[in-house]
Structure 1
Amino acid sequence: MQLTAGANLALPNSDVMVKIKTSVPSHLGLDITAYILDASTSKVRGNADMIFYGQTHTANKSVELQESAHKSPFETTLHVNTNLLDSSVGKIALCATLDGQANISALQDIQIELCSHNQITATALVNSASKTEKALILAEIYNHKGTWKFRFVNQGFNGGLQPLAEHFGVVIANEPTPSAPPPPVETPKPASTINLSKITLDKSRPSINLSKNDGRFGRIAINLNWNRNPENAKKPSRFNPFAKTKGIDLDLGAMIQFKNGHIDLVQALGKRFGQYNAPPLMQLQGDDRTGASSDGEWLYINGNCWDQIERIVVYTFIYEGVPNWASTDAFVTIQIPQQAPIEVQLTESSPLGTCAIVALTNTNNSIQAQREVKYFKNQEFLDQHYHFGFQWKAGSK
């Protein structure tokens, strides 16, 4: 069923996905956000009701955002389970915003698909060329007299992500404007505000220092995502020159050194998935070998034990596929509670199969995040460069 603006239909069941597909120019960033709105006020009940790149799901996974790994083609999915929503929720607004000065007309037409049980129930199309705004309210999932429905909205919104979020009642933490001299004491931001800033570590800004008064950072979530690149599907893997692959398979890993000198690592190769509440205090959440997950691979680090950790080097390696980093569009996002998300993109190309992405160093119980993006033949050569001192042998997944 093809929907026009304003058209609606009842959801086929309580568990649905909304897919947003388009193509984004390389110099722009497109953000998909969802706002969980109170039935009586049509505003968020708190900042936990804004789902975006810095907060990708609710606590019970009733609403979950799976972000696109690349810009062309761009595909992001919103997963909603209405049975898990609080009874006070009346609507979920699904929106899109562009960063910078460009407006929606810079995109290709936006295709929206409502899916249930992997079947497309309805589609809708946004004619991007006709849009002069920086933001769009794409669609709504709403409760009408006890029945959950989907509506294609296609409504432009003047302003970017911050005014859109404020329109739905989100309280934004404003970044202080630099001045000279700086104030002697910085007033802490209220805990009820949300930070929309996204920190990108690149050559112009390779590092950042993050601190908390108690040195306890909570769960540090590191996500690796990439373009699986089906064009490489017929090329041989480096482990089997005669086998056909399913595209590039990146694996996430990390080496850790503790304050007491102990070293350890986690990676899927060798089935070293680690554990969260005991050494090595970090754990891989599975291994996306199929490339089917748009969520990529996750590594969790126990930041409440940061005072025990000296340093961590996060890396990735091409387990399957030709080492062609430029075609992976790979990036790592570091999410730390009450901190702006940190993103590191693997922009350089190399024929080598392993890449050190970011180093996290304990500096007086703060986290010094340093962009690395250095390439090595394999993990053993990476280890030698960073002087951990592991004993290496051949392994498999």
Structure 2
Amino acid sequence: MVNALVRGGLLQEALNIVQEMKSNGIPPNTVTYTAVIKGFSGNGNVKEAVQILNDMEGGETLPNLRTYNTVLRGCVQAGDYGEAQNIMNKLSQHNLQKDHSTVLSLLKLHVQQMQIKEAWSDFQELLNFPITIEPTIYTLLATGAALAKEEAITKEVLDKLSKRNDLTPLILREIQTIQSYKAKAVPNPQKTDRLYRWSEGHAVNWSLIPKGPVNMEICSGLGEWVINRCKKEQDKNWISLEQRYDRVLQTWSKMELQKITNLFVCCGEASAILKQDCFKNKLDAIFVNFPDPPHNEENNRLFNADFIKLVHQVLKAQGTIEVLTDDKHYYNIITREFTSSNLFSEHPTQNSNDPTYFDELEKSVGRTERFSTAFKKRN
């Protein structure tokens, strides 16, 4: 029951069952606790995941390595390095040895912090495990090393990667980009004006976005699509919006590597950011590529009536929104929501076929069908 609720995105309901079990004198087992922690961690709510972990540690059911790794992966997604350090301290206290999942999370966190020597050490440790390391981990480390002017590490990682025979065209292009990068100074994602991270009471500084047309991509993922559009349409300004901080940093890194000057990167939940007054009537077009489909219509996380109204509010007169998905059911939900709102009229689609990591991933498992829909704002 708990696993089903978590998979359906009904996290509070799953947590309520855990609390009810405890109240009835039935301690949930480690698997049940870990499932709930996974739900909150994967949803970006590391604080709640850690609270559940603390409840475990203070009760009858102790966490295991998988539980701690689950929270650690949440720290990666949220960019919470401080909490990740706390988790590592807990592993030491309980004499739990790192496995490949632990080391992989540490590598990603160290790259986020631009601690490249530590990430390189993690990478070498990862090579000792009997696993196949995804090419994206190589490019993640090589990108961080290039930006940090760690030329020897960059070269060694790319040399190892180039010997593989499973590289996609997207990865090959990334290798070329990294190899051609010439660093002048080491950029810092914590101190840049072109990366905004949502926090209560802290709004986007619109003056940092140059004058001219402004388009936005929501659900930017790893940033390939929006980077390509920035290069093709240099007369427009672009905003990339993504909830997961680890993905946001990869977009920022690509922007730095390719010296993109017409992109502003935002990290946060779409509705929370678009509610800010500075976005009202400011966007010429919005593109949403491969949004995660909801597990059920009641838990429609993005495209609901409130979000449709918000899109109408931030678009300029005659502004458009276009959505691309590989899920026909979700396509039908989205089309229905926009049509029933009476705030938009149908509009021809213009979405380019620029490749993305997720697009290639879906095609690799035979999911090649795509559904695209577009709407224009009614005044």
Same fold (TM over 0.5): no
More strand by share: 1
More helix by share: 2
Q: What TM-score do you get using the length of structure 2 for normalisation?
A: 0.26
Larger relative contact order (CA 8 Å, sep ≥ 6): 1
Q: What TM-score do you get using the length of structure 1 for normalisation?
A: 0.25
